[in-house]
Amino acid sequence: MSTLKETLAQATKDAMKARDKDRLATLRLINAEIKRVEVDERIELDDARILALLDKMTKQRRDSIAQYEKAGRPELAAVEQAEIDVIKEFLPEQLDEAEIAGIVDKAVQDTGASGMADMGKVMAQVKPQVQGRADMGTVSKLVKARLG
């Protein structure tokens, strides 16, 4: 069992003991999504794949917040934000824009990228380094700015 899965399992137990219903509901969502992927693909997820899953869940919730705010439903946006806060506890510390730019610059040098046609090569090298630690939309913008 991966260490991240063990951490999530322990956090779920702690939330049950503390009777923290909101936190428990979010942790159960995370565990259910991990289990769904494991069953569908008949594999056991490693920490890297779990981080990618948590990153995806965070992105989905950000999209939902934008939709709820547009529809004038701040109470639903607040619920989604609370879920993001719980998910973020299990993601590594976020990189700032300067750190991301350094990783992008190194990837551009390493791949010899010279234009937008090489964006896929650069993103393929950058993504594993920033997965779960940066918003991929921000990373993509930085790569485009660097190559464009």
pLDDT digits 0-9 by tens, 93-145: 888 888 988 999 999 888 888 888 888 888 989 988 887 788 888 888 888 88
Q: Is the pLDDT of residue 87 over 80?
A: yes
C-alpha to C-alpha distance for 80 and 3, rounded to whole angstroms: 26
Q: What is residue 1's predicted lDDT score, i.e. its pLDDT? A: 61
Estimate the share of the chain in helix, then strand, then coil, as percent rounded to the nearest 5: 80, 0, 20
- Domain 3-88's class? mainly alpha
Q: What is residue 88's predicted lDDT score, i.e. its pLDDT? A: 92
Give the phi and the psi of residue 90 in degrees, each rounded to 5: -100, 0
Residue among 142, 145, 134, 138 at smallest CA distance from 94:
134
C-alpha to C-alpha distance for 127 and 129, rounded to whole angstroms: 5
Residue 40 pLDDT level (bands cut at 50, 70, 90): very high
Domain range summary for the chain, segments of one domain joined by +: 3-88, 97-147
Q: For the domain bounded by 97-147, which CATH number is listed?
A: 1.10.10.410
Q: What is the pTM of this model?
A: 0.78
